[in-house]
Amino acid sequence: MQATALTLGLVGIDAHLVSVEVDSGRGPSAFHLVGLAEAAVREARVRVRAALKQLEVELDEHVITVSMSPADVRKTGSAFDVALALGILGALGRVDPATLAGVVLLGELGLGGQLRPVRGVLPALATARRLGVTRAIVPVDNEAEASAVTGVDVLVASTLEDVVLGLRGERALRPAKMPGASAGGSGCFAADLAEIRGQHGARRALEIAAAGGHNLLMMGPPGAGKTMLARRLPTILPLMTQEEALEVTAIHSVAGLLGAGAGLLADRPFRAPHHTVSVAGLVGGGSPVRPGEVSLAHCGCLFLDELLEFGRATVEALRQPLEDGIIAVSRARERAVFPARPLVVAALNPCPCGYAGTLRCTCPPDRVRSYRQRLSGPLLDRIDLQIALPPVEIADLSFAAATGEPSAVVRERVVQARAAQAARASSGEVGARLNATLGAADLARVASPDAAAERVLRTAAEALGLSARAFGKVLRVARTLADLEGATGVGAPHVAEALHLRLLDRVRAPAAQNATVG
């Protein structure tokens, strides 16, 4: 007898329908599995056999042949277990094969027949809906995540027996209905910009970064607040849209990082990989392919603390995703694409001892120079804002000193500035939604400086020896400064401030070769 069960296989944060066709016949016990099943899927035979035993279904004296299609796509992971078990039960006549039609089954089986949660349920169900499949059964521990998907009737089950009885109509399975976090989040974070004392320049740079989508580099002594500032970037970004929240949740789900009970992620992510992170850890890889830090930080902040400690190859690997906003990870017969559009914040000390520019510095000048020379290359080209932080002033640390603006107030300005950019993009004036990604033609249309600004730019370009690329960056940042102010055109003050936010050009300028920046 034959039966077919449906399930879903993950490819990146996408999925595809997998048909599990099962044929059973009498004969010496055998269990064949065809259709590019990887080791983890082949192991399913052991789990399924044990789980079926709990239902008093013995596979001895049976020849079970399972074919998973499409046959040319690798099948990996343990999410196919339940479909496999139900396909077998259908083929054995223990479940009516007709009840398996049009319902996707997801879940790993424990040896005792329990349904274990699997990763990628949210993107898998989103695919099911797109493909017109409207019914699904998932493990109860995936309920919160499954509740975030609309348009599919999802039932939850705790055991294989639940699934069997549910399909037979002998036990009512509960619909997945857990109130997930609402998209956009509460806007309340544990951290707030108000906690940062002093550091007005850095707070301003953080606001500009958030407003225009510009990557930011902070150079400053230990304890100046670099890590503290970076952690607060997500708190001043606009609240996530439903679409963004779904995408971010899907990435975390595929990575297996959604805890049981976690529904739609509401807050923008903050990821701070250690500098010993591998290339695969940073941009994605492994088998099965999982998203890396750059994708986990999608729509949020990727913080590279101690930038110079990261391996060259690691930093180099960020170049493509930062350029394209996506990362494609290819392995034999498997190509996964993950979104990867974080805001990058990098931090470093100004010299090996950390105190260049102050009397405490113990580094000989040539060590400072060679340390700074390592600060170049492809990543730096993609960082529009580069600032130096002074040590925090003692007076600012006094509890009597006024605290800075809270995140919610800053976020309001960021939202306004982003609305101006979005309006230009939707009217077709420019091709990018954020100033940081404006192309050359876009720049000419919306960021061309007025006469006074042009003079400032020319003078600075000569003094600093600005490259054409740096020129473009200054104008992109100047455009964001104008947007933060609600100005239509780019004027001299915008250009001057944008130039001031390019620390490294100033450090490298011929006239400043011997100067110290602290």
Closest distance of CB 344 from ligand ATP, Å:
16
Nearest to 464 by CA among 386, 368, 408, 362: 386
> Which of 70, 151, 187, 222 is in the footprint of ligand ATP by CB under 6 A?
222
Task: Count residues binding ligand ATP (CB under 6 A).
Answer: 14
> Which of 37, 140, 196, 414 is in the footprint of ligand ATP by CB under 6 A?
196
User: Which residue's CB is nearer to Mg ion, number 114 or number 349?
Assistant: 349
Q: Is 392 in the site for ligand ATP (CB under 6 A)?
A: yes
How many helices (H) and strands (E) the chain has is answered by 23, 17
Contact 203, 228 (CB under 8 A): no
Residue 65, contacted partner among ligand ATP, Mg ion, none, CB below 5-8 A by kind: none
Q: Is 227 in the site for ligand ATP (CB under 6 A)?
A: yes
Closest distance of CB 363 from ligand ATP, Å:
15
Q: Is 228 in the site for Mg ion (CB under 5 A)?
A: no
Residue 268, contacted partner among Mg ion, ligand ATP, none, CB below 5-8 A by kind: none
Instruction: Point out which span in 227-235, 389-397, 486-494, 496-504 binds Mg ion (CB under 5 A).
Output: 227-235
Q: Is 7 in the site for ligand ATP (CB under 6 A)?
A: no
Closest distance of CB 230 from ligand ATP, Å:
8
Q: Is 220 in the site for ligand ATP (CB under 6 A)?
A: yes
The values of phi and psi at residue 4, to 5°, are -130, 130
Instruction: Point out which span in 49-57, 159-167, 178-186, 218-226 binds Mg ion (CB under 5 A).
Output: 218-226
User: Which residue's CB is nearer to Mg ion, number 346 or number 368?
Assistant: 346
User: Which residue's CB is nearer to ligand ATP, number 106 or number 196?
Assistant: 196
> Which of 112, 175, 223, 261 is in the footprint of ligand ATP by CB under 6 A?
223
Q: Is 54 in the site for Mg ion (CB under 5 A)?
A: no
**Buried b / exposed e along 438-470 (16+ C-beta atoms within 10 A):** beeebbeebbebeeebeebbeebbeebebeeeb
Contact 414, 237 (CB under 8 A): yes
Closest distance of CB 411 from Mg ion, Å:
23
| Region for residue 516 given its phi and psi (left: phi exceeds 0; alpha: psi -120 to 50; beta: otherwise) | beta
Q: Is 278 in the site for Mg ion (CB under 5 A)?
A: no
Closest distance of CB 230 from Mg ion, Å:
8
334 three-class SS: strand
User: Which residue's CB is nearer to ligand ATP, number 220 or number 518?
Assistant: 220
Closest distance of CB 518 from ligand ATP, Å:
13
Tell me how far the alpha carbon of residue 51 is from its chain's centroid.
Answer: 36
| Dihedral sign (CA 38, 40, 46, 51) | negative
Q: Is 2 in the site for Mg ion (CB under 5 A)?
A: no
How far, in Å, CA of 215 to CA of 384, rounded? 6
Residue with tokens 């004296």: 61
Dihedral of the alpha carbons of 8, 247, 298, 284, in degrees to the nearest 10 = 0
By beta carbon distance, the residue nearest Mg ion is 227
Closest distance of CB 390 from ligand ATP, Å:
10
Q: Is 516 in the site for Mg ion (CB under 5 A)?
A: no
How far, in Å, CA of 248 to CA of 299, rounded? 7
Closest distance of CB 223 from Mg ion, Å:
8
Identity of the amino acid at 460: A
Closest distance of CB 40 from ligand ATP, Å:
40
Dihedral of the alpha carbons of 79, 80, 86, 88, in degrees to the nearest 10 = -150
Q: How many residues does the chain have?
A: 518
User: Which residue's CB is nearer to ligand ATP, number 147 or number 349?
Assistant: 349
| Dihedral sign (CA 379, 508, 370, 226) | negative
> Which of 19, 54, 65, 227 is in the footprint of Mg ion by CB under 5 A?
227
Closest distance of CB 244 from ligand ATP, Å:
27
Residue 225, contacted partner among Mg ion, ligand ATP, none, CB below 5-8 A by kind: ligand ATP
Instruction: Point out which span in 103-111, 190-198, 272-280, 283-291 binds ligand ATP (CB under 6 A).
Output: 190-198
Instruction: Point out which span in 10-18, 148-156, 170-178, 196-204 binds ligand ATP (CB under 6 A).
Output: 196-204
Closest distance of CB 100 from Mg ion, Å:
55
Q: Is 228 in the site for ligand ATP (CB under 6 A)?
A: yes
Interface positions, 236-255, toward Mg ion (CB under 5 A): none
Question: Could you give the strand order of the β-sheet that contains 270-271, starting from the edge strand earlier in sequence?
Answer: 270-271, 301-305, 343-348, 216-219, 385-388
Interface positions, 294-333, toward Mg ion (CB under 5 A): none
146: exposed, middle or buried (Cβ count in 10 Å: 0-12, 13-18, 19+): buried
How far, in Å, CA of 504 to CA of 515, rounded? 12
Contact 516, 363 (CB under 8 A): no
Contact 371, 501 (CB under 8 A): no
Closest distance of CB 307 from ligand ATP, Å:
11
User: Which residue's CB is nearer to ligand ATP, number 231 or number 494?
Assistant: 231
Q: Is 27 in the site for ligand ATP (CB under 6 A)?
A: no
Instruction: Point out which span in 221-229, 314-322, 357-365, 483-491 binds Mg ion (CB under 5 A).
Output: 221-229
User: 3-state SS of 47-78?
Assistant: HHHHHHHHCCCCCCCEEEEEEEECCCCCECCC
Dihedral of the alpha carbons of 385, 386, 391, 396, in degrees to the nearest 10 = -20
- Residues interacting with Mg ion, by CB under 5 A? 226-227
Site for ligand ATP, rule CB under 6 A: 196-199, 220, 222-228, 349, 392
